[in-house]
Chains A and B, each alone.
Chain A
């Protein structure tokens, strides 16, 4: 039994486009605040951190789609591509702001930091790993790649882990905000290995509960 009423089919498409628009609002709003002096006295760092945080949030939402369906019967799989792509856009913006505005295109420092600082190395690997996923986020690729597409998109688990680690290593101390984000990723990743046994158990319970066909 679904917990929430189903969206009429004709609204599926528009609701996905609405998600893209809403999803990009935090970036646009933060950019506006930054450009007009509304992000405090260190606006670039603030903007950079907000973009990174929103990237993590969209990764969390992407990972939440499957458990939401398994546990609560809410099927939002149609939004997963948009959420994943939004996460990619935010990671890309986070990286661009760091390179262009924070380090001021000092590419010597950019490369030195990527090679030398483990948390930046991890962040960079995650961004690189997101590129093939973003490029293949279309129906044509799904058809063309088949089983390989599924295996390939399991990379998101490693990326989520890397993103959490990147955040953990970048902060001076673990406070409420990092804790909540990292814990959410940890929980959603921990669900994956127990998912198959859980679904088996759920199906078994269903067959026991439902009336058995009468023997002939």
Chain B
């Protein structure tokens, strides 16, 4: 009679737990690799950068919070909308047109922008709604890009424009459009050339996820988050103060400057404190005092010397 004998398995043949448990990260990496190959996929790809001049001693906001709690109305107005509705968005191929009062207007391909001197920049991010994060961006100074197009002496401001793609951005179609598109923003030229101002192409060691403004976005850490325009397709150097979306929508509540300022309240809520996302919890909120210029006063306060910051909010 045949007796079943269990096969002998040598201990060396058994896959160690840490390896079989890492199957998911392997699949993730593989997916990211495919994303790099297959243009336009929503997966973020690894991105290496050298350490930049600005670092922070504060605890980083967890990556899942940075990529799931977003204001990006092109994908919907709920905080979770950008991460859930941005799957169809194609950040490649991509070009950014830089024009206006410049000597050498140019349309930059994403490949060329990724070859700019990218570096790690960990910044605080303060939303006008009263919450904040600490985000490890990867990007390059906007000034480096502006140098390439040779701004003319008459250029005083820089305007920015987000892509309009209703078929890929569900927030741009439908009955109730919260804002007019394209989303537009602007900076004074000296603000735009400040070394803290960067164009970010990644975060947390990867290319930008769609919900964070893929493939390229502005980051101006001393201003409220809405100034840091996402998915940029056009940058123009202009003479007059450009139109900005939230100021057009409600000028009393959102100014052109929108520097983080605990002493100037939003007409409907206080800006004195902020809630640090990812810290505290359901029974203990993590409120902290908001810092003037979001803690970057030493670097940027001189840009506004002599200006009434209450009038120029």
Contact = CB atoms under 8 A, between A and B. Distances in A.
A45 B269 CA distance: 14
B77 A175 contact: yes
A28 to B, nearest CB: 14
Contacts of A116: 270
Contacts, number: 66
B287 A174 contact: no
- Contact-residue bracket for chain B: 20 to 34
* Consensus secondary structure, chain A interface: helix
Given A173-B77, A176-B175, A113 B281 contact: no
Indicate the member of A45, A103, A169, A175 with the most B CB atoms within 10 Å.
A175
Interface in A22-76: 34-35, 37, 39-45, 47
B80 interface: yes
Interface string B166-179: 00000000111011
A193 to B, nearest CB: 28
A176 B171 CA distance: 11
Interface of B: 62, 64-65, 68-69, 73, 77, 79-80, 129, 131, 174-176, 178-179, 249, 268-270, 273, 275, 277-278, 281-285, 287
Contact of B282 (A35, A106, A113): A35
B68 A102 contact: no
Interface of A: 34-35, 37, 39-45, 47, 101-104, 106, 109, 112-113, 116-119, 169-170, 172-176, 179
Nearest to A102: B285
Given A43-B281, A103-B285, A109-B270, 6 more contacts: A34-B282, A44-B282, A45-B275, A117-B269, A174-B178, A175-B77
B64 A172 contact: no
A207 B266 CA distance: 59
Nearest to A104: B285
